Amino acid sequence: MTIHDVRLTSLAHGGGCGCKLAPAVLQKLLAGQAAGGPFERLLVGTETGDDAAVWQLDADTCVIATTDFFMPMVDDPFDFGRIAATNAISDVYAMGGRPIMALAILGMPIDKLAADAIRQILAGGAAICAEAGIPVAGGHSIDSPEPIYGLAVIGTCRPEQVRRNADVRPGDDLILTKPLGVGIYSAAIKKGQLPATAYAEMIASTTRLNRIGAEIGRDPAVHAVTDVTGFGLLGHALEMARGSGVTLTASLQAVPLFAEAAQLVQAGCVTGASHRNWASYGDAVMLPDDLPDWRRHLLTDPQTSGGLLIACAPERTDDLLRTVIAAGYPGASRIGHAEMGPAAIRVVT
């Protein structure tokens, strides 16, 4: 095999947001780290594991800053670039803001991967940034043993439009804007078991910008937002529950899924990250009795460029859901609600 026909996924030990450190490992690494300090203009820092940092410049403007990068989950370099860029920009939308520019983060095994493939990765990222209306204004590159690509993204919003993951209120409804199954599909790719139609379904979802976040950030009935990525639906919902001091209930039947996700997960297409996720936070999740492991894996499946999880006032749920679907997220669904109680997740059928 030459550098011109090597598979991208063969060069990486993991892929997409499944590369993220397990939640339990991350907590250990961050334990004892110095706090950000008494910076009154730092509206969102590391306290609740939110999607991005937010700094208030003045009475009218906040700056949102984030970075996200990972190894390939697909073999097409252009698609890899598009997915990685969409995923990174999502953090800004999840905070209720709009992106204004990006910087590229690139690490490539230049002795194993053709220059044209690397150019295609960069071109894919630039194409998504163009779709978002922002420039790739610079970046940094290194020679790396595994291919890595992503973005640092800067955005802005008004102070009242900031949407943290820690402001869920008892009684709120939960809306998920994209179906689950990205990790399952990526596992199937590695096994050569993903049909072409399913690949097209995954690419359509993972390259769809979460720009609806900027719109719903202007709605006072939307109380909290996060994007669902490497920790799976349960992991990111648990961050919301812990930050807000509430119990979240999710209906398994209401959770949207990719068309082939249930079939493939039962065939053994499960990522290592799904197991690590459950080991990290399973003690805070209440499951129905005798729930099959494959159904649990749907909820711990690491998403790459997943959807937004939105907590909103129940009287606005129907209108908001119609708005989200009309904006280009046909799989959006009301999946549960919040109530007073311990910081935990309850799954019902």
Strands 98-108 and 136-143: parallel
Q: Is 17 a catalytic residue?
A: yes
Q: Are 185 and 120 in contact (CB under 8 A)?
A: no
Task: Report CA 18 to chain centroid distance, whole Å.
Answer: 10
Q: Which of 17, 19, 62, 129 does the annotation list as catalytic?
A: 17
The DSSP output letter for 257 is B
Question: What span, in angstroms and rounded, lies between the C-alpha atoms of 307 and 326?
Answer: 15
Question: What span, in angstroms and rounded, lies between the C-alpha atoms of 138 and 214?
Answer: 24
Dihedrals φ, ψ of 155, to 5°? -140, 180
Of the candidates 156, 106, 109, 110, the residue with the CA atom closest to the CA atom of residue 136: 106
Q: Are 258 and 181 in contact (CB under 8 A)?
A: yes
Question: What span, in angstroms and rounded, lies between the C-alpha atoms of 23 and 126?
Answer: 30
Task: Find all residues with CB under 8 Å of 157, minimum gap 6, and list them.
Answer: 61, 62, 64, 95, 96, 97, 98, 214, 217
Of the candidates 74, 70, 73, 81, the residue with the CA atom closest to the CA atom of residue 123: 81
**Strand order through the sheet with 98-108:** 42-44, 53-56, 62-70, 148-157, 98-108, 136-143
Instruction: State the catalytic residues.
Output: 17
